[in-house]
Structure 1
């Protein structure tokens, strides 16, 4: 798989490997730091030219080194600059020490003040270079006090790499963290930039290329990306003149009793609009009249029990299923999943809840390799993977990866920062979903899109990632106030979004 470095996510451990490999290759670390600091200064001048003073807060690591370069560049541009330091500058080494010495050379003996002496002034812009993405402990009280003071004053913050106090791996505040207006990071985004609530702490994010070759980056990162079409569009089926409905797959969506068929209907319509050639709702006999009266393009068939499903599944064209939306009967759900264990399957809602008291039974059914996707929201994830969910040392990405590995299924861990993870460790974080998608029935639409892509023989991880991205784009196009029926009606294959982008 080729995927643009633009969408790579690099965790702090991988970033340390990249830095070390860059130095080992002969690259000058002070030159890289110079470019980083200059980029930060340029961002501050570009977005805050009216600043009365740039207050640069520097720690005793490489993040502080970037800050000293930024301070010198701002001073060279004629700005009023004050530098406040946290930590023992005697402990500085390497490139950070050189950057500090260059700053002292142009600023003189009064070039540094203690962070404890800093008080935000009217007209200040903060350049935050105290801690970088590798912070793994709560911020010290002195730093927390400054963070509070800056927050109360409403002073804009330009963060270097990551707002100080934010965990670069988990995207959570370590005791306290700056809420930056803008963040300038280098080489690639970090998980903390895209996971919630870190995404909100970072403000507007700029990724600056400081000159580390792509070969070094690619050699030292894992299979982790921000979700984008580059990740999966080459796997999608592209229609040609020889296509036909069976070639595009037959999707079966299970429905519950007559009083709760709405979820399955939205799932089925979404699957049909997302490109499945044929969609059939399989429902209890008593629900058939309701479904027949409310559906036209979607077919309906009665399936009341395991025997009826066995007969239906004997037809090899019936290869893809969605089970869960509005299903209701948890005992029957368990029986149906057992029968479909080797088929392409999307397990959602009641299909997940059915196994909350016997998760090992579900995982034992999924020992064979087959295309399958599970779509838990936060509560369902906690019920299905209680130990993983309770481990606060793990990021949401790591939790999804652990869940995918133990269940042998692709996991869509839903939320504002939906994570898609495969059993082999690949993972993507979705960032295009608007808050308006948090509405009843939205997940039923997502399940239908997943099912349609599986029916078209898209591999499970790529199908899940594409479905989540398309779901987000549809939500963005509809805007605030959308309801699930709007979303189901708006579903279109990816080609429609490509065409819209080309025509503007």
Structure 2
């Protein structure tokens, strides 16, 4: 989805940032009308592909999003397509009125019984902050019910751009959402992301915005150097605990994600593959190899006194650490005071709440707000994982992740993710970048699995996902 050859096309902008970016274009010689033509005709290309000469209905609202709709409709009409416009109300901006005047087709009123194959929603765009009125909601849902396919322009109407909140219950689901100018947070955050369908972006010339969040994309990975050996590629120490299967699963996943050597610290070698080295005995005695480049602690750790001790010993290792699962519940701020090496935390929602309590945060704001607040308070890179994963760094960098398959909602996939991220950290990728790379590889491995896979099958696909980046 992100365009790695054009990094600014991967940026995610708030409503305020988008307005400033558009104003910057206008200040340098463009105009609202020109930008509307660029955006609308770019969106029309995607609508044209979906419609395949079938009937298109464009629902236009009063503002500039409605103006985009008139441009889309005119572009389709010029190509010989069958298109009609339903105007929810009169246009209320100069650019929208100009676009309506340029449309050479039929404009119907809100009571029209329009039906067809493709409905294009241009009722309201990214600036919406309150629910749709009863009349507008009824119009949108009625038209949606009478069309086979739905396309949202910029955002589905009834969605709050910066938070991903649904401002109305019962909003329709879309087959395609065409973002205009830049991605918005709602394209990636739940619950709105579940309504979007396929995502596409129409550039309008927006330049890079300093401090903007980014869409996390495929990593750029190269083969090991010709003189590489296992330690140079990175030694990852995986700390086991009371439930050894989870740590073993993480270790297996880590083997395929780039580290040259994965070593499991556990109480037993039973059921461990022969190509994973197991160190037994007291952790304080065996976790002393100065060749370690990263440590992973948490999967299967448990929450008893022994687990707390193992966590403390793991964090005392002066290398980068990945903290997951039970370790996140046990983690206290004082455990990080002496750490100089980077730490990555990978909480799901429940663990995120536990960390917020530990660091005395109120948990207010959107998911990106919460992840950034925790990253800054803790000094850790935060991977707030879930159907709308967000990655935040203490220095303010922020990334959202395109939706992965919902088949990932099965036991053990979080252990696989921790292993993959830890492997990238062990391979000496900086912590924030390693987190972004690990999340992408995890999602790609899931895509390669197809439906109904186990965590073990997911781990086995990690090398194939890595190969896709070479």
Shared topology, TM-score over 0.5?
yes
Partner of 1:188: 182
Report if aligned partners of 2:119, 2:144 keep a CA contact under 8 Å in 1. no
Alpha carbons of 1:389 and 1:150: their partners in 2 closer, same or farther (altered >3 Å)? Answer: farther
Partner of 1:244: 229
Within 2, Cα distance between the matches of 1:277 and 1:135?
50
Report if aligned partners of 2:238, 2:264 keep a CA contact under 8 Å in 1. yes
Within 2, Cα distance between the matches of 1:80 and 1:154?
14
Partner of 1:203: 197
Within 1, Cα distance between the matches of 2:271 and 2:101?
79
Within 2, Cα distance between the matches of 1:155 and 1:388?
46
Which of 448, 454, 459 is the matching residue for 1:477?
448
Report if aligned partners of 1:344, 1:370 keep a CA contact under 8 Å in 2. yes
Return the offset for 1:120.
4.1
SS at match of 2:207: helix
Q: TM-score, normalised by structure 2?
A: 0.89
Instruction: Establish whether residue 100 from structure 1 lines up as the match of residue 85 from structure 2.
Output: no
Within 2, Cα distance between the matches of 1:203 and 1:494?
24
Partner of 2:75: 73
Higher helix share: 1
Which of 214, 224, 237 is the matching residue for 1:225?
214
Which of 315, 321, 329 is the matching residue for 1:345?
321
Partner of 2:17: 14
Within 1, Cα distance between the matches of 2:195 and 2:329?
34
Which of 137, 140, 143 is the matching residue for 1:150?
143
Alpha carbons of 1:20 and 1:380: their partners in 2 closer, same or farther (altered >3 Å)? Answer: same
Which of 55, 58, 67 is the matching residue for 1:56?
58
Report if aligned partners of 1:267, 1:446 keep a CA contact under 8 Å in 2. yes
Alpha carbons of 1:78 and 1:244: their partners in 2 closer, same or farther (altered >3 Å)? Answer: closer
SS at match of 2:118: strand
Within 2, Cα distance between the matches of 1:80 and 1:479?
38
Q: TM-score, normalised by structure 1?
A: 0.83
Give ranges in structure 2 of 5+ residues lacking alignment.
Answer: none
Return the offset for 1:303.
4.2
SS at match of 1:492: helix
Alpha carbons of 1:374 and 1:363: their partners in 2 closer, same or farther (altered >3 Å)? Answer: farther
Give ranges in structure 1 of 5+ residues lacking alignment.
Answer: 356-360, 500-504
In the TM superposition, what whole-angstrom CA distance separates every residue of 1:297-343 from its partner, at most 9, and x where no partner exists? 22222344xxx52x444442234211111111443333344442553
Alpha carbons of 1:272 and 1:96: their partners in 2 closer, same or farther (altered >3 Å)? Answer: same
Instruction: Establish whether residue 434 from structure 1 lines up as the match of residue 405 from structure 2.
Output: yes
Within 2, Cα distance between the matches of 1:293 and 1:87?
68
Report if aligned partners of 2:181, 2:201 keep a CA contact under 8 Å in 1. yes
Give aligned pairs, total.
462
Instruction: Establish whether residue 326 from structure 1 lines up as the match of residue 328 from structure 2.
Output: no
How much is the aligned-residue C-alpha RMSD, in angstroms? 2.8
Which of 249, 252, 273 is the matching residue for 1:295?
273
Moved more, 243-252 or 379-388: 379-388
Partner of 1:400: 371
Alpha carbons of 1:292 and 1:143: their partners in 2 closer, same or farther (altered >3 Å)? Answer: same
Report if aligned partners of 1:183, 1:205 keep a CA contact under 8 Å in 2. yes
Within 2, Cα distance between the matches of 1:119 and 1:367?
68
Instruction: Establish whether residue 362 from structure 1 lines up as the match of residue 340 from structure 2.
Output: no
Which of 374, 387, 408 is the matching residue for 1:416?
387
Within 2, Cα distance between the matches of 1:78 and 1:490?
46
Alpha carbons of 1:3 and 1:457: their partners in 2 closer, same or farther (altered >3 Å)? Answer: farther
Alpha carbons of 1:3 and 1:400: their partners in 2 closer, same or farther (altered >3 Å)? Answer: farther
Instruction: Establish whether residue 273 from structure 1 lines up as the match of residue 256 from structure 2.
Output: yes
Within 2, Cα distance between the matches of 1:353 and 1:155?
47
When Rg is computed on C-alpha atoms for both structures, the one with the higher figure is 1
Report if aligned partners of 1:125, 1:155 keep a CA contact under 8 Å in 2. yes
Report if aligned partners of 1:397, 1:419 keep a CA contact under 8 Å in 2. yes
Return the offset for 1:464.
0.9
Within 1, Cα distance between the matches of 2:112 and 2:108?
11
Alpha carbons of 1:48 and 1:202: their partners in 2 closer, same or farther (altered >3 Å)? Answer: same
Return the offset for 1:24.
0.4
Alpha carbons of 1:315 and 1:47: their partners in 2 closer, same or farther (altered >3 Å)? Answer: closer
